[in-house]
Amino acid sequence: MTIAARWAEVKARVEAACERAGRAASEVTIVAVSKTHPASAVREAAAAGATDFGENYVQELVEKRPACGDVRWHYIGRLQRNKARFVAGQVALIHAVDTLELAQELAKRAAGTLQPVLISVNVAGEATKGGVTPDTAPALARAIAAVPGIRLDGLMTMPPPADDPDASRPAFLALAALRARLSDDLGQPLPVLSMGMSGDFEVAITCGATHVRVGTAIFGTRGTVST
Ligand SMILES: *Cc1c(COP(=O)(O)O)cnc(C)c1O
């Protein structure tokens, strides 16, 4: 199957999930996760209609980007503070901010632009993954919302891998509930919920996802990279 055909299939599945959920398809952005795939794959997906692309290795993004044409980039991986300067002001949205220090560094490096970010929340509380716990999210959200140069747009999560898409539902619902609470708490809208990947994006859409991060279903299986 070509990338164009897979893209069309994913898009149709997103639209069908939106319709089942009583949502407009325009409410959901498909972030095509192109990590480990070459620039030619990005161009192929863009030609088929994809507008938003996600990377989670800094070096790969920096190297690939010039050959990809005019597309919107999302940084979806964990970001080390010493690499913030390669991403700040360079991407439409940074999905996985989990410390105030990182947000401050991004603001410093964004050089006068307003950098939109999401806080990554580890809803299931796994110790090995990035992201804050739901308990510590409110304090971090308040602190980040007060950093000039940063715009806190919402939350992202990545539930533990599971064969059954429905296994992700509790995490997605918890993230949506947390978003509502934080938005009340901050007195500002938090419009973005980044959740759902190839295996569970339809469930995420029924739970309110505004950004689904879909790699394998669009680009095929990945090799591994050592970054
Ligand atoms: C790789 C990755 C994805 C995409 O995963 P697929 O299962 O290939 O769709 C989504 N989000 C993050 C944070 C990732 O690292």
Our mutation pick for probing the ligand 1 site, out of 74, 197, 221, 227, counting the most ligand atoms within 8 A of Cβ, is 197
Among the four given CATH numbers 3.40.718.10, 3.20.20.10, 3.30.365.10, 3.20.130.10, the one describing domain 3-219: 3.20.20.10
pLDDT digits (tens, 9 = 90+) for 84-115: 999 999 999 999 999 999 999 999 998 889 99
Closest ligand 1 atom to residue 35 Cα is 1
CA gap 122, 170 in Å, rounded? 12
pTM above 0.85, yes or no: yes
Closest ligand 1 atom to residue 31 Cα is 10
Q: Indicate whether residue 118 lines ligand 1 (CB < 6 A).
A: no
The confidence score (pLDDT) of residue 125 equals 73
The confidence score (pLDDT) of residue 161 equals 87
Residue nearest to atom 10 of ligand 1 (CA): 213
User: By the 8 A CB rule, do 208 and 200 touch?
Assistant: no
The confidence score (pLDDT) of residue 227 equals 42
For the chain, the structural domain boundaries read: 3-219
Low-confidence ranges of the chain (pLDDT < 70): 127-128, 224-227
CA of 54 to the centre of ligand 1 (A): 9
Which residue stretches of the chain are H helix?
3-20, 39-48, 58-64, 100-109, 137-145, 169-186, 201-206, 216-219
Q: Indicate whether residue 109 lines ligand 1 (CB < 6 A).
A: no
The confidence score (pLDDT) of residue 135 equals 94
The confidence score (pLDDT) of residue 197 equals 97
